[in-house]
Amino acid sequence: MKENLTAFAPATVANLACGFDVMGLAIDNPGDEVTVSFNKSREIVVRSITGDGGKLSKDPMKNTASVAIQALCDDLHIDQGFDVSIKKKMPLGSGLGSSAASAVAGVFAANELLGRPFSRQELVPFAMMGEKMACGAAHADNVGPSMMGGIVLIRSYAPLDIISLPVPKKLCMVVVHPHVEVLTRDARAVIPQKIALEEGIAQWANTAALTAGLFQSNFDLIARSVEDHIAEPNRASLIPCFYEVKTAALYEGALACSISGSGPSIFAMCEGMASAKVVAAAMKSNLLKQKLKAMSIFPL
């Protein structure tokens, strides 16, 4: 029996524009590493956290990884103790699913140590409990893709219905992270609770079309479909440089460009790595022009 195990869980881009609250995808990098080992205390102890700039709590009730592991233990009716060490290798509050990645890596590692009582998909609700603690809502659009990999669709929560969608071979993502703070709370608050019927119709036409585009590896169709009538028009103003960066990305040949999760990260979809590199450079140079202090770029 293994005594400790380290798991990596990737960052994720939620929403994908038209798929507001229901779609997300995992990128290869960055992500979080969580090491889990058994202890004899019968309690879950967060031993160390690095890479968070001291911002995250070691209180096991307030840490997404430990909360997720606790949910797993509760479901199994066991009081096994765990030591948990977290290496944050991605920015916090960036709209890249940082809290989800820690929860996923933690619960995945604990499940392996316990002899894999649950499938990946069955682990998603436990990781969602970590999200709920961190964000106030048990969303799965970061947890789902971070756990399952690839592109996922969350059809419903009751019951939880997660569908893996195909990933076209040449699809590359560019993600830039402008160093401005966007609080998830604020990003949620700007979304109206009522939407015009015609905006809704456009949105569900696009989610269906994007899904078809992914199945057909039809990049033209993907480009036409990744369009957002709900979140982007309301959240763009929270990211000072958003439209400039988007225009630059599209000008350089990106298929589509929108806000990752609740922002401030901005993603671009590209066909092929060569295109992604050109687009990444354009987005980066545009952010510098806007005098935004720093950023990270993750072409995949």
Q: Contact positions toward a copy of itself, by CB under 8 A?
A: 18-23, 153-156, 161, 163, 165, 191-197, 200-212, 215, 221, 224-225, 230
Smallest gap from Cβ 198 to a copy of itself, in A, equals 8
Q: Using an 8 Å Cβ cutoff, are 22 and 290 in contact?
A: no
Pick 135 or 163: Cβ nearer a copy of itself? 163
Residue type, 209: A
Smallest gap from Cβ 282 to a copy of itself, in A, equals 27
Pick 162 or 270: Cβ nearer a copy of itself? 162
The CA distance from 134 to 270, in Å, is: 32
Smallest gap from Cβ 21 to a copy of itself, in A, equals 5
Pick 46 or 256: Cβ nearer a copy of itself? 256
Smallest gap from Cβ 16 to a copy of itself, in A, equals 10
Q: Using an 8 Å Cβ cutoff, are 143 and 105 in contact?
A: no
First CA to last CA distance, the chain: 35
The CA distance from 59 to 78, in Å, is: 20
Pick 18 or 49: Cβ nearer a copy of itself? 18
Would you state the structure tokens that stand for residue 72, as one six-digit string?
Answer: 């797993």
Smallest gap from Cβ 130 to a copy of itself, in A, equals 22
Pick 47 or 155: Cβ nearer a copy of itself? 155
H or E element at residue 39 = strand 23-39
- Map residue 14 onto helix, strand or coil: strand
- Map residue 186 onto helix, strand or coil: helix
As beta bridge partners, residue 46 has 84
